[in-house]
Amino acid sequence: MHKFDEMYAMLPFDGSDVRAHYKAYAQWLARQAHATMQARQVEAEMVFRRVGITFAVYGDKDESGAGAERLIPFDLIPRIIPAHEWGRMQQGLVQRVTALNRFIGDVYNGQDILKAGIVPRDLIDGNAQFRPQMVGLQVPGNIYAHIAGIDIVRAPNALGEGEYYVLEDNLRVPSGVSYMLENRKMMMRLFPDLFTTHAVEPVAHYPDMLLDTLRASAPASAASATATVVVLTPGMYNSAYFEHAFLAQQMGIELVEGQDLVVRDKVVYMRTTGGLQRVDVIYRRVDDDFLDPDVFRSSSTLGCAGLMDAYRAGNVTICNAVGTGIADDKSVYPYVPDMIRFYLGEEPILSNVPTWVCRKPDDLQYVLAHLNELVVKEVHGAGGYGMLIGPAASKAEIEDFRRALLANPAGYIAQPTLSLSSCPTMVDAGIAPRHIDLRPFVLSSAQEVRMVAGGLTRVALKDGSLVVNSSQGGGTKDTWVLGESGLPAMQQSMGGMSQSMDSMGMQQSLVGGV
């Protein structure tokens, strides 16, 4: 199987054949003593612990029975992307997210793509992520997925050259952007000299872009420039709570729980010490099922009764919209290239990973015959769970998945085991290649689709592992997109440094996850 490394053209790497966009960094790295880099690693862990940048693993309990908190491992060696590669990727992301928004709007309104037979109707009608409450509901600007996290992987093609693929679309409550921002702050803290010599595109303005996007989605009854926006969190025991609090603080808006909200005459208000204040936009980090006990799960205490009535009346905007999960369901993923052709009349810029849809009899037979070679995923699975990696699985695990597939073939898709690109990473033995992916965050409004240059690079720290999720032992890296302006990032981003990590010390006990 071909391998592709982001930094070196040849593996195993020995310092030669450094790719052009990594040359300056590789020269700097060669001058660093291993002990110095280890000391910087310890310093990074100390600061992250002090600030409280941890995440909760639900399956791993502490003494109290709550999800155990862990530090997300942070690697000091950045993933670097040259400007021309990022430019092409950005075009593909804009195209893809535009088509996905069109698809969601179509599914809940005219259903033209179903009538044309491009997407099978039963794939939608029988889907657990389809929300009948959204049928016929018009949302501001026809934008449903205001914030999208698109998982990108790179793998060698037949010529051994690295090619980008979309592995997954995250449109419900995508997480991880706080780690992108904190990783950059940490790198600028530890290695300021690198940012005076490398033209790294900034990311610190993401909270401003996010707030602009949220305000632009406000109902017609509210002036977008002054719209009241809140972040709705399930609470401090949620695995991504650090991120919820972090983003609210960075945007200068209120972090609220369901009990802080109340609906009066189909208008949402938040309780404040000065009385009720109207809310125009809710950036929700709560799943659909828990948003409104009057409509969805009646036992939920995480949402607000009457919220859907206010939403249907057009008095509040929910970001992302209720029902966006229909477009990031893994059974719908194989049809995204067709969506791009159908809605935009364009060929996809970014390719999907080849996928077998197990609900199709021929695909199912192929998958059953090649389980030891494939990656099989539950269509509703997330976080690296509910997945079989055939080449690394035992015979017993393969047979368990075979039985599951035969019992419910529509619940699974399968993909080839890609040799994900690797990037030099600090491990106990020194520096070694580890597999990575990338999650750029795409912001959509009626006016534009935009993003900061970069994203969250996740790294599989276990040797040979392809699972990058933090809950499965993965870590993160800073992502550098080299700009064409020639202006070093230290000069571009000093404004973002004013909110230093130390200023977040008030968040000592917060937890987060990705």
Q: Would the pLDDT of 384 be above 60? A: no
Six-digit token string for 126: 């029988």
Q: Are the C-beta atoms of residues 133 and 322 closer than 8 Å to each other?
A: yes
- The values of phi and psi at residue 454, to 5°, are 140, -150
- pTM (predicted TM-score): 0.89
Task: Provide the pLDDT confidence category of residue 57 given band limits of 50, 70 and 90.
Answer: low
Q: Would the pLDDT of 58 be above 60? A: no
Rounded average pLDDT over 175-188: 95
How many Å apart are CA 492 and CA 497, to the nearest integer? Answer: 10
Rounded average pLDDT over 98-122: 97
Task: Provide the pLDDT confidence category of residue 513 given band limits of 50, 70 and 90.
Answer: very low
Positive or negative CA dihedral for 443, 449, 454, 456?
A: positive
Rounded average pLDDT over 396-403: 93
Q: Are the C-beta atoms of residues 242 and 55 closer than 8 Å to each other?
A: yes
3-class SS at 230? strand
pLDDT exceeding 90 applies to what percent of the chain?
72
Of 376, 364, 373, 366, which Cα lies nearest the Cα of 400? 376
Rounded average pLDDT over 61-90: 80
Task: Provide the pLDDT confidence category of residue 325 given band limits of 50, 70 and 90.
Answer: very high
How close are the terminal C-alpha atoms of the chain, in Å? 29
Residue boundaries of the structural domains of the chain: 20-350+432-507, 354-417
Task: Provide the pLDDT confidence category of residue 72 given band limits of 50, 70 and 90.
Answer: confident
Q: Would the pLDDT of 100 be above 60? A: yes
CA 86 from centre of chain? 17
413-440, pLDDT tens digit by residue? 999 988 899 999 998 888 999 999 999 9
How many Å apart are CA 266 and CA 5, to the nearest integer? Answer: 55
Helices (H), 108-150: 112-115, 121-125
As to burial, measured by CB atoms within 10 angstroms (0-12 exposed, 13-18 middle, 19+ buried), residue 112 is middle
Identity of the residue numbered 172: R
> Which uninterrupted H or E stretch holds 432?
strand 430-439
pLDDT exceeding 70 applies to what percent of the chain?
87
Whether residue 334 has a cis bond before it, omega within 30° of 0: no
Q: Would the pLDDT of 180 be above 90? A: yes
How many Å apart are CA 210 and CA 248, to the nearest integer? Answer: 10
Please state which CATH class domain 354-417 belongs to.
Answer: alpha beta
Rounded average pLDDT over 505-514: 36
What per-residue confidence (pLDDT) applies to 430? 86
Q: Are the C-beta atoms of residues 300 and 337 closer than 8 Å to each other?
A: no
What per-residue confidence (pLDDT) applies to 512? 35
Rounded average pLDDT over 88-96: 98
330 vs 64, higher pLDDT: 330
Task: Provide the pLDDT confidence category of residue 5 given band limits of 50, 70 and 90.
Answer: very high
